[in-house]
Amino acid sequence: MTDEHPNATAYRRTADAFRAHDLASLEGLFDPNVVWHVGGRHRRAGDIVGRDAVLAWLTDVMSTGFWLREHDVFGNDEHVCALSTMGRRGDGIDVETRVVSIFHFRDGRQLERWFYPDVPAIFDLILDGSSG
């Protein structure tokens, strides 16, 4: 195993908990005042403020066929960068795009996140999907 920064490892735990739909673990990995900045023209765009709001946002996205795969994750005492591929399968759609996510961490918890998709129009398709 490599000597990964603890904040990068914390991000990986968050991504794994998301994939497992493990909301209890996710709750402990977010700062209570977390803010996600989700750009785009889709219905889930905007600033998602607070742990409860981020968990609700993630719960909604979990039911749409959304998936996430990391290419690389690295970090330091304050920030993490995750190079990922995000996509959505189901309901007649199978799309993906690369996304750079930048995180601010404090005390091992995610405090802030910014998404930078490679193809914004595909990111919109991924996140505009309906639940269920």
Question: In the structure encoding, which two tokens stand for residue 93, read together?
Answer: 């759609």
Contacts of 90 (CB under 8 A, 6+ apart): 64, 65, 129
- The domain tally of the chain equals 1
- pLDDT tens, position by position, 19-73: 999 999 999 999 999 999 999 999 999 999 999 999 999 999 999 999 999 999 9
pLDDT grade for 129, boundaries at 50, 70 and 90 = confident
Residue 75 has pLDDT above 60, yes or no: yes
In a domain, 11, yes or no: yes
**Beta strands at 93-106 and 30-38: parallel, antiparallel or unpaired:** unpaired
Does some domain include residue 58? Answer: yes
- CA atoms in the 13 A half-sphere facing the CB of 94: 1
Helix (H) or strand (E) holding 39: none
Q: The domain that contains 26 carries what CATH number? A: 3.10.450.50
CA distances from 15 to 29, 63, 91, 108 (A): 10, 16, 24, 14
Residue 132 within a domain: no
Distance CA 83, CA 70 (A): 6
For 96, the domain range is 6-127
Backbone φ, ψ for residue 55 (5° rounding): -65, -40
In a domain, 62, yes or no: yes
Q: Is the pLDDT of residue 131 over 90?
A: no
